[in-house]
A and B are shown apart, each in its own frame.
Chain A
């Protein structure tokens, strides 16, 4: 019913913030109804959606444990309704794990194994096989020929567009599975971590929550609260990555963060990326 109201208003092309009462199906207390202002903003698209419809999400609040819908927000389909490519997600996750990994396995070569400098027996005459050192790979106790060498890094860069599409796919998957929430800001009423735990319980957000803010400094209360809860983490927009989004059950973005992510991803989807594609490419002369 609300969606019909909203679509009717949209057809009238109202761009101003109207004061409308929201009759949601959830039982809302009387006090919260007084402050009910539904902000519908008609978005001024930089890259207009061509065919796939934009997604609409509720803007929620974080200052009460109970959910209050503060408005409706449009998200670009190329970022939040992209085709969910599980293989691209997998490649991104493997890439993120591998770039960090250093293998410390180490074996000694024939030069490093103690001993084996002398020719064990003369070349000819004994009827035995000819050898130069007792530490050659042929010998028991000898060095390893092509064994692991310590400090082997597995760094490589996944192609630019695979990384870009990894982000769009994961965001779309999160939104499709109802694990994406947009919050107006991250201003909590208390710094008590119990408040956050109750909020997460009540709203049925997964046990682990990833909060994404626009800036890399956050209000004091949220910082203190998330500090003590290990499975609730707060990151800035530039820290957004596929692994973290999958590790945490719920993804909560601030309105500014959602806009910023959209802006940045759309920019790279529509820019000349030849330099980015060439960088870190292997076998370049």
Chain B
């Protein structure tokens, strides 16, 4: 067997094996439901089976001829069941340190931090990467940790109020505000009211101009 997948199913596998598998699927299905419940039971003991000792051995006394069998006593009550003290390992197992399959385990673990996007020729999904030249401008709009431009639409008052918010602004915010106002005025032939929040480092525009501002941000390279 290879270190990776158990059976490397390639397109040249024998038909007969698969047909046989399909043929016994129904019977297996029946079996599976039973085995599954047994599995659940076994799971409680974390892979190792426990030799459930009866009361007398737990207390250290010798097993007498008239001692009760395990199955007749039901240890379903926590208060009345003895503590598990001696776990006799019935099944053999081996501990493989630094196994070859560890790469597969690491692949399943979650990311520490959101991965950086490596440069590619094209991004078919329509994602536009930031440009290096954007750092030379007097203002800057940083990308979010998911590498998106932080321009959002806030809708309140049952859809009556629409505000476009540009977050994560650095540099000269007032100059950015002037540029945005003039750009939106050019594009929409109307005055656009904005609100500059220096401490919060954001600008809000009254109205839904998300698309326009995103285009403007991409053109600047943010």
Q: Which residues of A contact B (CB under 8 A)?
A: 50-52, 83, 85, 87, 267, 269-272
Contact = CB atoms under 8 A, between A and B. Distances in A.
18 contacts: A50-B135, A50-B140, A50-B143, A51-B142, A51-B170, A52-B170, A83-B201, A85-B199, A87-B199, A267-B113, A269-B145, A270-B114, A270-B145, A271-B112, A271-B113, A271-B114, A271-B145, A272-B111
A272 B170 contact: no
Interface centre among B110, B113, B135 (most CB of A within 10 A): B113
A83 B113 contact: no
Please classify the interface of chain B as helix (H, G, I), strand (E, B), loop, or mixed, using the class held by over half of its residues: loop
Nearest to B135: A51
Please classify the interface of chain A as helix (H, G, I), strand (E, B), loop, or mixed, using the class held by over half of its residues: loop
B171 interface: yes
Contacts of B145: 269-271
A51 B141 CA distance: 9
Contacts of A87: 199
Nearest to A86: B199
B199 A270 contact: no
Interface of B: 110-114, 135, 140, 142-143, 145, 170-171, 199, 201
A271 B146 CA distance: 9
A269 B114 CA distance: 10
A52 B172 CA distance: 12
Interface centre among A50, A83, A269, A272 (most CB of B within 10 A): A50
Given A52-B170, A267-B113, A83 B135 contact: no
Q: Which 6 A-B pairs have the closest CB atoms?
A: A51-B140, A270-B113, A271-B113, A270-B145, A51-B170, A51-B135
Nearest to A77: B170
Given A83-B199, A272-B110, 7 more contacts: A50-B142, A52-B170, A83-B201, A267-B113, A269-B145, A271-B111, A272-B111
Contacts of A85: 199
Interface centre among A51, A52, A87, A272 (most CB of B within 10 A): A51
A14 B202 CA distance: 39
B176 to A, nearest CB: 12
B128 to A, nearest CB: 16
A239 to B, nearest CB: 23
A272 B199 contact: no
A85 B201 CA distance: 11
A87 B197 CA distance: 14
Nearest to A271: B113
Nearest to B132: A50
Nearest to B145: A270
B34 to A, nearest CB: 36
A50 B145 CA distance: 13
A59 to B, nearest CB: 27
